[in-house]
Amino acid sequence: MAHIPINHHLQPFYRVLAGLCGLYVLVFGIVGLVQTRGLDTFAQDGLPSVLGLQANRAFAILSIVAGVIVLGGALVGGNLDQRINLGASFVFLAAGLAMMLLLQTDLNFLGFSVATCVVSFVIGLVLLTAALYGKVGSDADVRREEAFRHGRGPDPQPDHPLTASPRAMARSAERHHPAGEETVVETEEVHE
């Protein structure tokens, strides 16, 4: 991600929050797997309450996998943790939205309830926040980024498509398509 804080002073706090989210999801999955013994994998009715949420076996298994990944990332730390939190945040937010759309249908294959959707959104937002403040780097990376953010230095990522100037984008395009190579440009024909 372009131009997010590096070595933010609250990074350890957000790492702990992400780890607690991973731990909650993991414990939820394990307890859910135990409590859904004997139920159909994709059951939608008569689901047990697991830590305040409904769960079927499929949701419990997915929760164990997600919990292990997020908790593992928090234990490892570094930029791997930041990337895991970013990816997991989008998964939790998308799952909450998708399941909210499917709540009252036969396609609610994970047995979500409104409370489960809300918890999925909250976990997704906590993980997104942890990802935004979880990037780590060297002291030189921090100095370059801070100098750029305060208008005192050049862009440390001049070729990034979201922040690059038109001139930098042209230089990048020249590197990928040297002048000797022909590029095919398609144009639309206008019929009158």
Domain locations along the chain: 11-132, 139-176
Query: What's the CA gap between 123 and 53, in Å, rounded?
Result: 14
Token pair of 179 as six digits:
């002048």
- Residue 49's pLDDT is what? 83
For the chain, residues with pLDDT lower than 50 are 1, 183, 185-187, 192
Looking at residue 136, what DSSP letter applies?
Answer: -
- Tens of pLDDT along 94-106? 999 999 999 888 8
Structure tokens at 165: 């100037």
- Residue 59 and residue 112 in contact, taking contact as beta carbons nearer than 8 Å: yes
**pTM for this prediction:** 0.74
